[in-house]
């Protein structure tokens, strides 16, 4: 058993972990290669993170794979990323099945190339009955766009008298987000030293603990993942309450 895993309290693990996988381009540059080389070497970090999450009992992990803003990158890089998505999903499907991983996707999936959409849907369909952990890929995802779309859809229901405006609450909004079937995020991990959340799960991370590391994503391993969990468990999550209130409820 991993020594760091032994120090983790399995009764206090985050239920939903979000990950901003940053630093692929910089990692590739250090190797004297183009950015795509970095993306191709990111899968080990994904596997290690999902394995680590499964080992501690986390039920949901969401990876920021491709943002709405990423469409503005050079065409060759976008095309390479879409091709990599297809080949990686096909290659990893047997492992998802073996490890009981349910695959999910959030974002404007209809904007992806048709081959990517079909492959993604195939993997989602074939893993839908897996129960160990839900791995969500955020693809063509932007949180502001997600919230705007939710407001539009809620507004249509109000106009069509399907929904009373006085009955709109947080649950209503949650049910109209891409993440309607996911819980709120407990812990967000971002690699590469950048300390921002970059339009990722803004609503869902309202009370998430944020963990930033200088490590570039392709170098991130299970032991680094466990470091984030240990840091998370050393923090006090108050949700607006005082320390005394939290202590008295334990």
Helix (H) or strand (E) holding 84: helix 75-98
CA 116/CA 146 separation, integer angstroms: 20
Reported as half-sphere exposure (CB side, CA atoms, 13 A), residue 105 has a value of: 25
190 is in an annotated binding site: yes
22 is in an annotated binding site: yes
35 is in an annotated binding site: yes
39 is in an annotated binding site: yes
CA 54/CA 52 separation, integer angstroms: 5
CA 60/CA 26 separation, integer angstroms: 28
26 is in an annotated binding site: yes
Task: Using DSSP, state whether 225 is helix, strand or coil.
Answer: helix
235 is in an annotated binding site: no
Q: Which residues of 136-174 are buried (b: 16+ CB within 10 A; e: fewer)?
A: bbbbbbbbebbeeebeeebeeeeeeeebeeeeeeeeeeb
69 is in an annotated binding site: yes
27 is in an annotated binding site: yes
Catalytic pick from 15, 34, 70, 199?
A: 70
100 included as an active-site residue: no
67 is in an annotated binding site: yes
107 is in an annotated binding site: no
198 is in an annotated binding site: yes
CA 221/CA 192 separation, integer angstroms: 13
23 is in an annotated binding site: yes
| Two structure tokens written together for 180 | 């309607």
| Two structure tokens written together for 97 | 């099945």
25 is in an annotated binding site: yes
70 included as an active-site residue: yes
Catalytic pick from 22, 104, 186, 224?
A: 22
Reported as half-sphere exposure (CB side, CA atoms, 13 A), residue 48 has a value of: 18
- Catalytic positions, please? 22, 70
Q: Which amino acids are annotated as binding site, given as ranges?
A: 22-27, 35, 39, 67-69, 71, 73, 190, 196-198, 209
Residues comprising the binding site for substrate? 23-27, 35, 39, 67-69, 71, 73, 190, 196-198
Which residues sit in the known binding site for Mg(2+)?
22, 209
């Amino acid at each position: 058993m991993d020594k760091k895993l032994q120090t983790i309290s399995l009764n206090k693990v985050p239920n939903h972990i979000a990950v901003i996988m940053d630093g692929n381009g910089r990692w590739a540059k250090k190797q004297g290669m183009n950015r795509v080389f970095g993306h191709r070497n990111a899968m080990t970090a994904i596997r290690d993170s999902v394995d680590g999450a499964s080992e501690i009992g986390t039920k949901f992990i969401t990876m920021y794979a491709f943002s709405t803003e990423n469409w503005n990158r050079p065409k060759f890089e976008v095309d390479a990323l879409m091709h990599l998505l297809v080949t990686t999903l096909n290659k990893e499907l047997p492992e998802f099945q073996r490890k009981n991983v349910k695959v999910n996707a959030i974002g404007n999936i209809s904007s992806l190339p048709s081959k990517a959409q079909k492959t993604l849907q195939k993997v989602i369909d074939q893993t839908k009955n897996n129960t160990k952990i839900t791995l969500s890929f955020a693809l063509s995802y932007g949180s502001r766009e997600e919230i705007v779309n939710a407001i539009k859809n809620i507004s249509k229901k109000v106009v069509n008298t399907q929904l009373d405006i006085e009955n709109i609450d947080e649950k209503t909004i949650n049910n109209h987000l891409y993440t309607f079937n996911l819980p709120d995020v407990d812990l967000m991990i971002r690699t590469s030293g950048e300390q921002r959340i970059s339009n990722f799960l803004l609503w869902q991370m309202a009370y998430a603990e944020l963990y930033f590391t200088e490590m570039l994503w392709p170098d991130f391993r299970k032991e680094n993942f466990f470091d984030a969990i240990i840091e998370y468990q050393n923090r006090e999550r108050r949700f607006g309450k005082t320390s005394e209130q939290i202590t008295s409820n334990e």
